[in-house]
Structure 1
Amino acid sequence: MRIESVFKHGERIPDKYTCDGEDISPPIRISGVPEKTVELVLIMYDPDAPIGTFYHWLLYSIPPEIAEIPEGVPRDKVTAYGVQGINDFGDYGYGGPCPPHGHGTHRYFFVVVALSERTELEPGADIDSLMDRIRGKTLSYGVLMGTYSR
């Protein structure tokens, strides 16, 4: 699977999509989804956070025919693009990059997973619940990594 956005793999994420800008989700384009996919899941995380991996966005129950998740997905529990989990900021939906000042460059991974079965999770799932539901059901995945520092 291929994941694309307004920044290329390994490039800096534009300020617009961070806590220093509008803090809205970037557009995510998805291609190469396997034919037998019944659901897509999007997980965004920062493995470089000082407290350990920090999850910025959990979006699941994404219809497999969606080729693009547009910029600025509302932070509602349920959207036209899927169901939102609780990020590590304690909120529904997207929370943009916001590394501590002077902590160096952080990497932000956007991972889209194609599943053979539905997650059947209610809004507000955390990363542990989501990971439990996708284990053993992965058909394919794609990764896009952007960076940000303050």
Structure 2
Amino acid sequence: MSLILTSLAFAHMAAIPAKYTCQGADVSPPLTWSGVPAGTKTLALIVDDPDAPDPAAPKMTWVHWVLYNIPPTTEGLPEAVKTLPAGTREGLNDWQRTGYGGPCPPIGRHRYFHKLYALDVVLPDLKHPTKTQLEKAMAGHILGEAQLIGTYQKHP
């Protein structure tokens, strides 16, 4: 059984509802997962946009959410999550803050990659790591990975 990541809010490669973006309530979408591999000690979640600032000429990947040390018994996160599962740690997004920051593309339709990682280790407290710092800490410890991609384009 492989790790699977889904959302009741949007299907893979489908549009993310405005509610979860800067044009709505800017709350996190509900996420559910299954198929956590045996031996998993923690999970990590990274949400990013590789199409910034313009999908026709991307120059960077904008990070929207960084979570790690999610307990492996957790089966998902509710919409507009306020209280994270016990032990979960937060990293910094590209707004230089913790927590979820929804899609807010300056131009065009962007892709938002929701990536869930099963790790064979409980990571040390990394003191609000960036995505790059978390990926470095996860290296060599990934047992499985799932991906859910949603898209968004601002409405006039």
Do these two structures clear the TM 0.5 threshold for a shared fold by scoring above it?
Answer: yes
> What TM-score, normalized by structure 2, do the two folds share?
0.89
| Whole-angstrom distance in 2 between the partners of 1:84 and 1:19 | 21
> What residue identity is the alignment partner of 2:140?
G
Can you give the 5+ residue segments of structure 1 that lack an aligned partner in the other structure?
none
> What does residue 32 of structure 2 align with?
29
3-state SS of paired residue (1:132):
helix
Distance 1:14 1:27 in 2: 12
Conserved in 1, the CA contact under 8 Å of 2:19 and 2:26? yes
Q: Tell me the CA shift for residue 35 of structure 1.
A: 1.5
- 1:120 deviates by 1.3
Equivalent residue, structure 1, for 2:76: 68
Once the two structures are TM-superposed, the CA of residue 129 in structure 1 deviates from its matched residue by 1.3
For 1:2, the aligned partner's letter is I
Matched, 1:14 2:11: no
Give the % identical residues. Answer: 43
* Pairs aligned (count): 145
Structure-2 residue corresponding to 1:2: 4
CA positional deviation for 1:123: 4.1
Superposed CA offset, 1:38-84 (max 9, x none):
0000000000012410010001110001001111123x8xx326211
2:65 is the counterpart of 1:57: yes
Identify the match of residue 96 of structure 2 among 90, 96, 121.
90
State the Cα RMSD in Å.
1.3
Unaligned runs of 5+ in 2: 54-58
How far 1:118 moved relative to its partner? 1.6
- 1:137 matched to 2:141? The reply is yes
Q: SS in structure 2 opposite 1:104?
A: coil
Whole-Å separation in 2 of the counterparts to 1:129 and 1:13? 27
Instruction: Output the CA distance in 2 between the equivalents of 1:41 and 1:80.
Output: 12
List structure 1 segments (4+ residues) > 2 angstroms apart after TM superposition.
Answer: none
Superposition deviation, residue 126 in structure 1: 0.9
Distance (whole Å) between structure 1 residues aligned to residue 74 and residue 42 of structure 2: 10
Paired with 2:104 and 2:125, the residues of 1 have a C-alpha distance of 28
**Greater mean alpha carbon deviation, residues 14-23 or residues 118-127:** 118-127
Residue matched to 2:85: 80
Q: Give CA deviations for 1:80-132 in whole Å, capped at 9, x if unaligned.
A: 262111100111110000000xx211000000000011221344111121011
Aligned equivalent of 2:56: none
